[in-house]
Amino acid sequence: MQVGHNLTIMKFYNVSWILLLFLSCANEPENFEVNGQQIFESNCIQCHGLKGNLQVSGASDLTKSSLSEEQIINIIKKGRNAMSPYEKLLTESQINAVATYVQGLRLNK
């Protein structure tokens, strides 16, 4: 009977650790700074290029964009043309950071 009890305790601890890990990854800490440039370089340069003007696969030239931050955020979340949506891949703060970074790529700021 002791073996069954020990297995139950081990299962409880395993589930507890998985839940704790999940909850700790769900949100960034309040003092965590999100780097929009780093996220852009990891996800966007294949089509937009490092400077935002590569235009591969129909990607827009971000250096000539006149979109508002709200419009950029919507495109990042929902995707556009060949661009995949990122609303389920990035957090809200990551999306906002990328949008801010993209606005900084404009030549006529």
Q: Are the CB atoms for 58 and 95 separated by under 8 Å?
A: no
Residue 27's CB is within 10 A of a number of other CB atoms, namely 11
Provide the pLDDT for residue 108.
72
Q: Which CATH topology does 30-104 take?
A: Cytochrome Bc1 Complex; Chain D, domain 2 (1.10.760)
Domain definitions of the chain by residue range: 30-104
Provide the pLDDT for residue 4.
56
Return the HEC string of the chain.
Answer: CHHHHHHHHHHHHHHHHHHHHHHHHHCCCCCCCCCHHHHHHHHCHHHHCCCCCCCHHHCCCHHHCCCCHHHHHHHHHHCECCECCCCCCCCHHHHHHHHHHHHHCCCCC
Measured CA to CA, the distance from residue 50 to residue 78 in angstroms comes to 22
Provide the pLDDT for residue 57.
94
Provide the pLDDT for residue 73.
98
List the chain pLDDT tens, one digit each, 109 residues.
555 555 565 554 444 445 444 544 555 566 668 999 999 999 999 999 999 999 999 999 999 999 999 999 999 999 999 999 999 999 999 999 999 999 999 987 6
The model carries a pTM of 0.71
